[in-house]
Amino acid sequence: MNTITAAITAVGAYVPDFVLTNKALEAMVDTNDEWITSRTGIKERRILKEEGKGTSFLAIKAAQDLLAKANIDPLEIDLLIMATATPDMPVASTGVYVATEIGALNAFAYDLQAACSSFLFGMSTAAAYIESGRYKKVLLIGADKMSSIVDYTDRSTCIIFGDGAGAVLFEPNYEGLGLQDEYLRSDGIGRDFLKIDAGGSLLPASYETVRDNKHNIIQDGKTVFKYAVTNMADSSELILKRNNLTNEDVDWLVPHQANKRIIDATANRMNLEDSKVLMNIEKYGNTTSATLPLVLNDFEHLFKKGDTIILAAFGGGFTWGSIYLKWAYDKK
């Protein structure tokens, strides 16, 4: 029997219509377009403005886009993994709701949370289910409504984040394509540097936590930047060495879209030319769990069957890693 590998066979995405530009942010906080662009590479981000719509709305739209493009019956899906840091609500799984709403009634579903590394870790999880031979179609969705946890009076965070969703389908492959190797790590030292203080079991919601604005994301930007640059670059370099790959062997780098300077540092460590480094951060900002699938969707037209792709991410916690993937299809 041929060895089963887990390959991506379809992608989909969704971003809200509302565009929050750097110019608009100038009227909200003490910042300007030149400052934001030079330090982050971000020009605009998408925001889900409609009342009563959360992360599940974004995820459903992205999943429906994938199903329509690939002409797949949702009843064929065995499992749905929802990678997100902003679930609709604390207890009821967002992934379960998404699966039901898209008609994936034969699938079981759950949420996976590893901050900005959620989708990368989800790829490892989805691949393991496929490689087990017990599942044929695993839908992995990365979606976040970051605007729901951002303080738009805090210029250190409101310039960074946006809303969006992306989805990929994993299926068995018998040609040696798909996920080849992974290097995933975490370190609890990051707990204090990128977080939301209240709303969990440690500090439940109260009048005081709301009054003191403890339900929004906060970060120590310099510390997070330092760890992100080091760990994303290190993990990407290591995955190349471990698989005897050179910069010439890599067709594309798909990095987490947190900050252009972090992406540049990772690419430099890998000695990659700019044309191989895929970025859409200028359009969407940091959409957390959605950055990697949004890049895959936006640049799907460039990928050829057999292409070597390195994906890398860094997130709160801290969480980070890299995945070595062989692309499995030519876009029709």
Over residues 170-209, the pLDDT tens digits come to: 999 999 999 999 999 999 999 999 999 999 999 999 999 9
Over residues 279-310, the pLDDT tens digits come to: 999 999 999 999 999 999 999 999 999 999 99
The burial class, CB within 10 Å (0-12 / 13-18 / 19+), for 80 is buried
Query: Which residues have C-beta within 8 Å of that of residue 22, sequence separation ≥ 6?
Result: 31, 32, 33, 36, 37, 42, 43, 44, 159
Q: In whole angstroms, how far apart are CA 27 and each of 22, 24, 216?
A: 9, 6, 21
User: Looking up tokens 């370099």, which residue turns up?
Assistant: 237
Over residues 122-161, the pLDDT tens digits come to: 999 999 999 999 999 999 999 999 999 999 999 999 999 9
Tell me the average pLDDT across 305-323. Answer: 97
Tell me the average pLDDT across 19-30. Answer: 95
Show the 3-state SS of the chain.
Answer: CCCCEEEEEEEEEECCCEEEEHHHHHCCCCCCHHHHHHHHCCCEEEECCCCCCCHHHHHHHHHHHHHHHHCCCHHHCCEEEEECCCCCCCCCCHHHHHHHHCCCCCCEEEEECECECHHHHHHHHHHHHHHCCCCCCEEEEEEEEHHHCCCCCCHHHHCCECEEEEEEEEEEECCCCEEEEEEEEECHHHHHCEECCCCCCCCCCCHHHHHCCCCCCEECHHHHHHHHHHHHHHHHHHHHHHCCCCCCCCCEEEECCCCHHHHHHHHHHCCCCHHHECCCHHHHCECHHHHHHHHHHHCHHHCCCCCEEEEEEEECCCEEEEEEEECCCCCC
pLDDT value for 272: 96
Looking at the predicted structure, is the pLDDT value of residue 332 above 90? no
**0.75 exceeded by pTM:** yes
pLDDT value for 163: 98
pLDDT value for 192: 94
Residue tagged active-site, from 22, 259, 286, 297: 286
Pairing of the two strands 252-255 and 308-315: parallel
pLDDT value for 85: 98
Residue tagged active-site, from 116, 158, 259, 297: 116
CB 173 within 8 A of CB 328: yes
**Residue-averaged pLDDT of the chain:** 97
Over residues 236-273, the pLDDT tens digits come to: 999 999 999 999 999 999 999 999 999 999 999 999 99
Tell me the average pLDDT across 49-69. Answer: 97
Question: Can you list the domains of the chain with their CATH numbers?
Answer: 5-178 (3.40.47.10), 179-327 (3.40.47.10)
Other CB atoms within 10 Å distance of the CB of residue 168? 26
Tell me the average pLDDT across 313-329. Answer: 97
Tokens (6 digits) for 258: 């947190």
Instruction: Tell me the C-alpha distance between 91 and 107, whole Å.
Output: 19
CB 167 within 8 A of CB 65: yes
Over residues 74-118, the pLDDT tens digits come to: 999 999 999 999 999 999 999 999 999 999 999 999 999 999 999
Question: Dihedral through CA 122, CA 64, CA 73, CA 107, nearest 10?
Answer: 40
158 catalytic? Reply is no
301 catalytic? Reply is no
CB 9 within 8 A of CB 76: no
Query: Taking the mean position of all CA atoms in its chain, how far away is CA 277?
Result: 16
116 catalytic? Reply is yes
Looking at the predicted structure, is the pLDDT value of residue 1 above 60? no
Residue tagged active-site, from 173, 216, 256, 259: 256
Q: In whole angstroms, how far apart are CA 10 and each of 28, 217, 240, 293, 330?
A: 39, 32, 25, 11, 10
